[in-house]
Amino acid sequence: MAYDPPSTIDPDGRRVVFDAGSHLHLAAKRPWLLDEIDTILDTVAHPALHVLDPEGDRERYYRESPFPDGWLRVVVDYSEDPAWIVTAVVQDNDPRG
Protein backbone atom coordinates (compact mmCIF):
# COMPACT_ATOMS: atom_id res chain seq x y z
CA MET A 1 0.00 0.00 0.00
CA ALA A 2 1.37 3.42 -0.96
CA TYR A 3 1.93 6.04 1.73
CA ASP A 4 -0.20 9.15 1.27
CA PRO A 5 1.41 12.02 3.21
CA PRO A 6 -0.71 14.63 4.97
CA SER A 7 -1.60 17.38 2.51
CA THR A 8 -3.60 20.53 1.93
CA ILE A 9 -4.56 22.87 -0.89
CA ASP A 10 -2.96 26.31 -0.97
CA PRO A 11 -4.96 29.48 -1.81
CA ASP A 12 -4.01 29.07 -5.49
CA GLY A 13 -5.44 25.54 -5.66
CA ARG A 14 -2.11 23.68 -5.59
CA ARG A 15 -1.61 20.51 -3.55
CA VAL A 16 1.05 20.79 -0.81
CA VAL A 17 2.31 17.77 1.13
CA PHE A 18 4.02 17.29 4.45
CA ASP A 19 6.26 14.49 3.25
CA ALA A 20 9.22 12.52 4.61
CA GLY A 21 11.60 15.41 3.86
CA SER A 22 9.37 17.80 5.79
CA HIS A 23 9.29 15.38 8.70
CA LEU A 24 13.05 14.82 8.73
CA HIS A 25 13.81 18.55 8.70
CA LEU A 26 11.48 19.33 11.59
CA ALA A 27 12.62 16.28 13.54
CA ALA A 28 16.19 17.59 13.34
CA LYS A 29 15.51 21.32 13.87
CA ARG A 30 12.20 21.78 15.75
CA PRO A 31 10.82 18.39 16.80
CA TRP A 32 8.10 19.91 18.99
CA LEU A 33 6.42 21.19 15.78
CA LEU A 34 5.82 17.60 14.65
CA ASP A 35 2.81 17.68 17.00
CA GLU A 36 1.46 20.62 14.97
CA ILE A 37 1.25 19.21 11.44
CA ASP A 38 -2.45 20.14 11.16
CA THR A 39 -1.63 23.72 12.21
CA ILE A 40 1.21 23.86 9.68
CA LEU A 41 -1.03 22.60 6.87
CA ASP A 42 -3.80 24.99 7.90
CA THR A 43 -1.34 27.90 7.72
CA VAL A 44 -0.69 27.04 4.07
CA ALA A 45 -4.40 26.68 3.31
CA HIS A 46 -5.51 29.84 5.16
CA PRO A 47 -2.57 32.24 5.58
CA ALA A 48 -2.80 35.71 7.03
CA LEU A 49 0.10 36.65 4.76
CA HIS A 50 1.56 34.94 1.68
CA VAL A 51 4.83 36.14 0.08
CA LEU A 52 7.52 34.88 -2.25
CA ASP A 53 10.58 33.39 -0.60
CA PRO A 54 13.98 34.79 -1.62
CA GLU A 55 15.04 31.28 -2.64
CA GLY A 56 13.85 30.10 -6.06
CA ASP A 57 10.50 28.37 -6.39
CA ARG A 58 9.57 28.76 -2.73
CA GLU A 59 6.82 30.71 -1.05
CA ARG A 60 6.18 31.67 2.57
CA TYR A 61 2.90 31.41 4.42
CA TYR A 62 2.27 33.16 7.74
CA ARG A 63 -0.37 33.07 10.46
CA GLU A 64 -0.41 34.48 13.92
CA SER A 65 0.84 31.60 15.95
CA PRO A 66 -1.25 29.68 18.43
CA PHE A 67 2.02 29.51 20.37
CA PRO A 68 3.11 32.32 22.68
CA ASP A 69 6.04 33.45 20.52
CA GLY A 70 4.35 35.23 17.63
CA TRP A 71 3.95 34.06 14.02
CA LEU A 72 4.13 30.66 12.35
CA ARG A 73 6.09 30.75 9.07
CA VAL A 74 5.78 27.81 6.68
CA VAL A 75 8.03 27.58 3.61
CA VAL A 76 6.77 25.58 0.63
CA ASP A 77 8.86 24.43 -2.34
CA TYR A 78 6.99 24.45 -5.66
CA SER A 79 9.81 23.05 -7.82
CA GLU A 80 8.23 19.58 -7.61
CA ASP A 81 4.69 18.27 -7.98
CA PRO A 82 3.22 18.01 -5.49
CA ALA A 83 4.75 20.96 -3.69
CA TRP A 84 6.21 20.13 -0.29
CA ILE A 85 6.73 21.84 3.03
CA VAL A 86 10.41 22.64 3.51
CA THR A 87 10.21 23.98 7.04
CA ALA A 88 8.08 25.63 9.68
CA VAL A 89 9.26 28.01 12.36
CA VAL A 90 7.72 30.21 15.01
CA GLN A 91 9.12 33.73 14.78
CA ASP A 92 8.70 36.55 17.23
CA ASN A 93 8.60 39.42 14.75
CA ASP A 94 5.55 40.44 12.69
CA PRO A 95 6.26 39.62 9.03
CA ARG A 96 4.01 42.45 7.86
CA GLY A 97 6.71 44.92 8.77
Q: Where are the beta strands (DSSP E) in the chain?
A: 7-9, 15-17, 49-52, 58-64, 71-77, 83-91
The pTM score is 0.93
**Spans of the chain, pLDDT less than 50:** none
Looking at residue 67, what is its pLDDT?
74
Q: What are the tens digits of pLDDT across the range 36-51?
A: 999 999 999 999 999 9
Q: Which residues pair with 76 in a beta bridge?
A: 59, 85
Percent of the chain residues past pLDDT 70, beyond the cut: 98
Q: What are the tens digits of pLDDT across the range 71-82?
A: 999 999 999 999
Looking at residue 66, what is its pLDDT?
76
Q: What are the sequence ranges of the domains in the chain?
A: 20-91
